[in-house]
Structure 1
């Protein structure tokens, strides 16, 4: 009886254990099926997301290509608009200058003025003997004409000045701030219509020039030769015979630029009704100096220390023995004559009118005066060659 009871208990436990194992297996199978369903769902979602990302990428690439094309088209349009605006500004500047400027009047007692003129004249007869009776000075800039754009940002161009009252038709171009070539054109019209320098006659110099301070006077080119660690030299070159006539070491011990805004130019040569001049500076002086030179021998006849500062100066020129210094700013603005020095003492900066150049915001690399035409030949930092027509009045005119 006892044995039977044990057998029954063992059988019951076996059946209970078997049922429990079956239930556990069923539960695990259900969990695995649920996990498989979720994995399948995740896989489908991942595939869909990847497909959507590829489509979005393709759309973005297409839009970026379209934007690049539109950007290039817009840049082209802006360049065209900028060119047209620049042209319109120049035309407006020219039209503005047609009316000329007004000359300030100063009320001075006539007798007192005559006494002052007599004293100043007697004083300067000893210092400087004028070569002509020129009494002209600038009143304003009457007109501006932009001829063309040649070469780089810096250079100089001028006519051959035969005398104080005449000029030859030939135009000479010094392109850049150093080189050994002078480009010769038969006239201003030839220069304007020629593409670049292809149609110009080329004069090769035996030595290189430096800066933008060169002039052509009585069929001779006067240029500044400057080698490293040596004083500058002024060279007189015969353009007809293609030969050097004379050279002289310029007495400039300190190699300092005459204009702070154009550091390549150590000596700026100029021609007016009186002949050849040299504009320069020294290291110990912060002001510009002026020298009268003999065009035939290159001797320095007399020198003057002016009160015109070098800082913010961009160019200068001489008219009837009066030095006009043109100033600007480091960020180019509107050029203006802000300092005047007259070797005869008849004109001072306070008495001279403040001359503004036409409203083109930019600076000049060089400005050359032609006494035969009373024009300024200018080269601006955008590479344009410009003519300025001057409105002239007499010194001491009230």
Structure 2
């Protein structure tokens, strides 16, 4: 699908100095969890919101809300019904709302925590059932990602199994531009987006093995180690607010600091 969105073109103007992650540093193990699968999230947009939300397992209808990292480690939480059953571990909390995939459908939900209002976005021509996952290891069909440019939706095309990325407009809750990375979903373990670049891990989630600059529409030459082999990496998300990677790795939630950026090297 051609990349012809005007908003993406506008963003390219501010992308004159592209950046890549060189490595991850300062790993921090935050807590051990009961479930192998799940997502833990802080709001990627609201600067002073220290709440943490946890969606346990790869399917459910409630999330746990913690007031702070201290409450999270002390297991002091309230339950929030998000109105529909979610699927996978690709959720994101952004600007007061939880974005998630409604199980069994080609639909993305935006649930606002304060108003409890639910908005939906239907994605045609996207894989969304019958175990044809975007990310097999975490049983995820859709992944919502936030970076310095806003929100993105990562999914797999039902035409050729390629990994697709759509730019999400928050005001209209719609996709304004599509990017086809042409990278097959069968080679992907997990994925995240930072500074306009999509990073994809190998099938064992040990290394970042593929990267694609979404604003330039080109693969970039970068690989780096992520984690030792073994266990399930259920969640891998970047937060532009603190430039940390959030992980749910083999039943533990962890934080990694993103190392300083470097100049992008394009592959032709």
When normalised by structure 2's length, the TM-score is 0.87
Question: How far is the alpha carbon of 1:127 from its aligned partner?
Answer: 5.6
Alignment of 1:103-182 (within 5 A): 128-130=9-11, 133=14, 135-162=18-45, 166=47, 168-182=49-63
Identify the residue that residue 340 of structure 1 maps to in structure 2: 211
Identify the residue that residue 252 of structure 1 maps to in structure 2: 125
Identify the residue that residue 367 of structure 1 maps to in structure 2: 236
**Separation (CA, whole Å) in 2 of partners of 1:376 and 1:253:** 26
Q: Tell me if the contact between 1:314 and 1:365 (Cα under 8 Å) persists in the aligned partners.
A: no
Gap runs ≥5 in structure 2: none
Q: What root-mean-square deviation, in Å, do the aligned CA atoms of Structure 1 and Structure 2 show?
A: 2.5
Question: How far is the alpha carbon of 1:359 from its aligned partner?
Answer: 3.4
Q: 1:357 aligns with which of 206, 220, 226?
A: 226
Q: Tell me if the contact between 1:131 and 1:274 (Cα under 8 Å) persists in the aligned partners.
A: no
Q: Tell me if the contact between 1:148 and 1:384 (Cα under 8 Å) persists in the aligned partners.
A: yes
Gap runs ≥5 in structure 1: 1-122
**Separation (CA, whole Å) in 2 of partners of 1:355 and 1:280:** 23
**Separation (CA, whole Å) in 1 of partners of 2:180 and 2:88:** 22
SS in 2 for 1:128: helix
Distance 1:361 1:217, change over 3 A: same
Q: Tell me if the contact between 1:346 and 1:396 (Cα under 8 Å) persists in the aligned partners.
A: no
Q: Tell me if the contact between 2:20 and 2:263 (Cα under 8 Å) persists in the aligned partners.
A: yes
Q: Tell me if the contact between 1:346 and 1:395 (Cα under 8 Å) persists in the aligned partners.
A: no
Q: Tell me if the contact between 1:308 and 1:325 (Cα under 8 Å) persists in the aligned partners.
A: no
Number of aligned residue pairs: give it.
257
Distance 1:373 1:253, change over 3 A: closer
Distance 1:170 1:383, change over 3 A: same
Question: How far is the alpha carbon of 1:143 from its aligned partner?
Answer: 2.1
Identify the residue that residue 163 of structure 2 maps to in structure 1: 288
Q: Tell me if the contact between 2:5 and 2:176 (Cα under 8 Å) persists in the aligned partners.
A: no
Q: Larger relative CO (CA 8 A, sep 6+): 1 or 2?
A: 2
Deviations 1:211-246 (A, max 9, x none): 11110000111111033xxx42111111012222x2
Identify the residue that residue 274 of structure 1 maps to in structure 2: 149
Distance 1:154 1:225, change over 3 A: same
1:211 aligned onto 2:92: no
Question: How far is the alpha carbon of 1:379 from its aligned partner?
Answer: 0.7
**Separation (CA, whole Å) in 2 of partners of 1:206 and 1:257:** 23
**Higher helix fraction: Structure 1 or Structure 2?**
1
Structure with higher Rg: it is 1
**Separation (CA, whole Å) in 2 of partners of 1:321 and 1:283:** 24
